[in-house]
Structure 1
Amino acid sequence: MESAIKWTSNETVLGFGKDAIAFLDTKLFSKKSPCDKKMYEILIIEPFYGGSHKVLIDMLYKALEDEYSDSKICMVTMTAKKWHWRARTSALYLSQVIPKQHAFRVMFSSSVLNLGDLIALRNDLADVKKIVYFHENQLVYPVREKKDRDFQYGYNEIVTSMVADTVVFNSEFNRETFLKSIKAFFKVQPDFRPKGLEGEIRQKTRVLYFPVMYDVGSHSKDYESTLHIVWPHRWEHDKAPEDFMKVLRKLSEAHCDFTVSMVGEQFTDVSKAFKEAETSLFPHIRHWGFLPSRREYLDLLSRAHVAVSTAKHEFFGVAMMEAAFNKCLPLCPKRLVYPEIYPNECLYNDSEDLFTRLAAFSRNVSAIKEVVADVKLDFSKYSAVNLLPHYVSLFK
């Protein structure tokens, strides 16, 4: 495990809009003097500093810096590796590296951190205002059988919510599935089950959508070309890549004309299934693998026609929102958070419905342009420019 890093800003970051690419492609922070050399007021913790977790606190740091100056903000992070170990053990490690001499009045962390453990280990932080942000929740993580669910992850999140002063969710779906699942979650406990937790936690919750920093690629779509499908998700169980592969193989067997770009980030070793999919779909592949450059990623979105999700576990979906902003038609399952965000034109019922729609678009790509024009999606509702002031207000 790499040591936690204490960060201070080392450059002026450009504003939103076109300059967002520079913001997200640049290492916003660098090692400088340890946090405990100054009496910081704000503590930001991220045990899993990667993906949307990284994007959020980088934006939050910049917004808070504009409000308070970097001299008052201490950020401590751990690399985005081995999520399960971060969820189990990060509190003990962080308790050792968070400055012991401090003037913290507010702390912010994702729910990956077991806040109860941290406060027990560092009771000097007990009186600090504690804000926890839920990118997802483990109470409804998809498992094949109930016995496969690791009770500890969900239990940690519940205890963390009890210890926190403010609990923020990135969607209404996230909040409601978490709160309404607590009672059923404890049914596996044989006796002495706690009561009334939903009500205690609910009164200190709020929903703040993930602040999306919109930007567009530099290309325009060619609706006279072959259908270009993009899948911008992690290749992991909860995103159901195998379901997407089955649809693509069926399209191929039906002799549909299409290309596909698989551009999601991978935090674990490349699976055998991923390699086999690349081989079987080789004639249709436009791009295969994560694009580390945001400019290249946006350029690809600006060329693609359709973005697909097959997720079994999703609470907002930054990648699909970015694709939609780049005029890709988002096709999402009619479940999870998607009906909260997307209109019916963007929702499909099952894999057969997804196949049917993609097959039809492969025969008439220009029809996608008409559908996209009719989609009513209020991007301002999820804009970083509009949402970040609400995040900053949490630190008052």
Structure 2
Amino acid sequence: MKALLLSAYAADSHRYWARGLTAHLEMIDWTLIELAPRHFQWRVRGNPLSFMSEHDATLSQAFDLIVATSLVDLATLVGLYPHLGRAYRVVYFHENQFAYPLGQDQKPRIEPLMVNLYSALAADRVLFNSQWNRDSFFDGVAGFLKKMPERVAPVRLETLKARTDILPVPLWPLAEAPSVEREAPARIIWNHRWEYDKNPEDFFAALEVLSDKGLEFELVVMGQMFRQRPEVFDQAAERLSRHITCWGHQTRERYLEELGKGGIVVSSAWHEFQGLAVMEAVQHGCVPLVPERLCFPEYYADRYRYDGSREALIERLAQWLTSPATRPQAPHISTWTWPQMTPRYQSQLQPSA
């Protein structure tokens, strides 16, 4: 089977997924085209022009299968290259723009919403990485259509729902199982993007309270950084400096080395559709502490969740730091790895799925 894999905004998690797909589904002859993750508003609406300008010869070929991320304007691309409409078309939603929280200075834009919707409608199969992702997409679409001046009836939404399924981004398998002891040094890990939607304010505020109470812990702050980032990171670097053992973007090798030392990986996110950063830390033996919202209840038992408030985060961290025996073991997540999930991907990428 000859397949075209399209990624219109190849952020780290999208690249991680795409390389896993091509490496573990070797029976498929993959052609991968990616666009760099920058100039989001231009990219989300202009990606068909970018694809056409840079990869016209490739797009002019015939393919049996097209797999596109949800920011690919698949409907427009098929209009520009009609022969691509004969391929089996799958759209993968790492996230959906209907449930993406706006930053303080951001204004709502309809273009990303329309691209998500039109791409889903142009697909034969639509896959989401979590139930939360799928539910928030369809809730968002229903609300969006009610705002349209023509009052478009959502007749085709039920048909579209029938073409969807849940298929998480798998983890690459580890060469050997992690060996982290429960009594490992008290380490608290942040390994998310340094952006507003990950709610770093609650995370660092909680740690400042713990520090003021005299609790001892190591602080590891990693993850993808950008030219502009929330001011709270610079403030925290100063206020929590005595706890910091690792800070900033790291090489892949150093990143995995730090996760392998164990600890508590925390999320306080306002936006998370699967939470690959937390999953990767758990895979390396870290204990997750995640809020009771978004995708997290799908993946983690009650003992790993707090009610989402800053106060509850402080209380749970204080308990786990002062009484290590109360901290649960890291969950086993081998079912989330490529060797376990490859058959599911093979099934979903077949026209008969």
Q: TM-score scaled to structure 2, two decimals?
A: 0.90
Q: 1:387 aligns with which of 322, 327, 341?
A: 341
Query: Partner of 2:40 in structure 1?
Result: 83
Give, in angstroms, the shift of residue 175 of structure 1: 1.2
Question: Take 2:42 and 2:267, find their aligned partners in 1: how far apart are those partners?
Answer: 27
Query: Partner of 1:166 in structure 2?
Result: 125
Q: 1:326 aligns with which of 281, 284, 295?
A: 284
Asked if 1 retains the 8 angstrom alpha-carbon contact of 2:103 and 2:196, the reply is no
Query: Partner of 2:223 in structure 1?
Result: 264
**For residues 321-364 of structure 1, what are the alpha-carbon distances to aligned partners after superposition, in whole Å with 9 as ceiling and x for unaligned?**
22222222100000111111110000001210110111222223
**For residues 212-270 of structure 1, what are the alpha-carbon distances to aligned partners after superposition, in whole Å with 9 as ceiling and x for unaligned?**
12326877447263x21001110112211122111112222222212211111124434
Q: 1:362 aligns with which of 298, 301, 321?
A: 321
Query: Partner of 1:46 in structure 2?
Result: 7
- SS, match of residue 335 in structure 1: coil
Question: Take 2:235 and 2:177, find their aligned partners in 1: how far apart are those partners?
Answer: 30
Residues 184-333 of structure 1 correspond to what in structure 2 (within 5 A)? 184-215=143-174, 220-221=180-181, 223=183, 225=185, 227-293=186-252, 295-333=253-291
Give, in angstroms, the shift of residue 134 of structure 1: 0.4
Question: Take 1:151 and 1:63, find their aligned partners in 2: how far apart are those partners?
Answer: 36
Question: Take 1:269 and 1:197, find their aligned partners in 2: how far apart are those partners?
Answer: 41
Asked if 2 retains the 8 angstrom alpha-carbon contact of 1:231 and 1:261, the reply is yes
**Relative to 1, partners in 2 of residues 1:100 and 1:144: Cα closer, same or farther, differing over 3 Å?**
closer
Question: Take 1:220 and 1:351, find their aligned partners in 2: how far apart are those partners?
Answer: 28
- SS, match of residue 67 in structure 1: coil
Question: Take 1:314 and 1:380, find their aligned partners in 2: how far apart are those partners?
Answer: 21
Asked if 2 retains the 8 angstrom alpha-carbon contact of 1:221 and 1:302, the reply is no
Code of the residue aligned with 1:256 in structure 2: it is L
Report the identity percentage.
28
Question: Take 2:263 and 2:326, find their aligned partners in 1: how far apart are those partners?
Answer: 10
**Relative to 1, partners in 2 of residues 1:100 and 1:143: Cα closer, same or farther, differing over 3 Å?**
closer
Question: Take 1:314 and 1:224, find their aligned partners in 2: how far apart are those partners?
Answer: 28
Residues 141-152 of structure 1 correspond to what in structure 2 (within 5 A)? 141-143=100-102, 148-152=107-111
- SS, match of residue 160 in structure 2: helix
Question: Take 2:225 and 2:177, find their aligned partners in 1: how far apart are those partners?
Answer: 23
Question: Take 2:160 and 2:226, find their aligned partners in 1: how far apart are those partners?
Answer: 31
Give, in angstroms, the shift of residue 278 of structure 1: 1.4
- SS, match of residue 265 in structure 2: strand
Give, in angstroms, the shift of residue 46 of structure 1: 1.1
Code of the residue aligned with 1:261 in structure 2: it is V
Structure 2's unaligned 5+ residue stretches are none
Question: Take 1:128 and 1:268, find their aligned partners in 2: how far apart are those partners?
Answer: 40
Give, in angstroms, the shift of residue 124 of structure 1: 2.6
Asked if 2 retains the 8 angstrom alpha-carbon contact of 1:315 and 1:336, the reply is yes
Give, in angstroms, the shift of residue 367 of structure 1: 3.6
Asked if 2 retains the 8 angstrom alpha-carbon contact of 1:171 and 1:337, the reply is yes
Question: Take 1:124 and 1:383, find their aligned partners in 2: how far apart are those partners?
Answer: 35
Asked if 2 retains the 8 angstrom alpha-carbon contact of 1:173 and 1:337, the reply is yes
Question: Take 1:253 and 1:289, find their aligned partners in 2: how far apart are those partners?
Answer: 23
Query: Partner of 1:336 in structure 2?
Result: 294
Code of the residue aligned with 1:313 in structure 2: it is H
Asked if 1 retains the 8 angstrom alpha-carbon contact of 2:178 and 2:284, the reply is no
- SS, match of residue 192 in structure 2: coil
Question: Take 1:224 and 1:233, find their aligned partners in 2: how far apart are those partners?
Answer: 22
Code of the residue aligned with 2:255 in structure 1: it is Y
Question: Take 1:143 and 1:115, find their aligned partners in 2: how far apart are those partners?
Answer: 24
Give, in angstroms, the shift of residue 80 of structure 1: 2.4
Asked if 2 retains the 8 angstrom alpha-carbon contact of 1:217 and 1:301, the reply is no
The answer on 1:130 being equivalent to 2:84 is: no
Question: Take 1:336 and 1:329, find their aligned partners in 2: how far apart are those partners?
Answer: 19
**Relative to 1, partners in 2 of residues 1:100 and 1:182: Cα closer, same or farther, differing over 3 Å?**
closer
Q: TM-score scaled to structure 1, two decimals?
A: 0.81
Question: Take 1:172 and 1:154, find their aligned partners in 2: how far apart are those partners?
Answer: 19
Code of the residue aligned with 1:258 in structure 2: it is F
Question: Take 1:230 and 1:250, find their aligned partners in 2: how far apart are those partners?
Answer: 16
Asked if 2 retains the 8 angstrom alpha-carbon contact of 1:47 and 1:90, the reply is yes
- SS, match of residue 283 in structure 1: coil
Query: Partner of 1:67 in structure 2?
Result: 27
Code of the residue aligned with 1:185 in structure 2: it is F
How many residue pairs match? The answer is 345
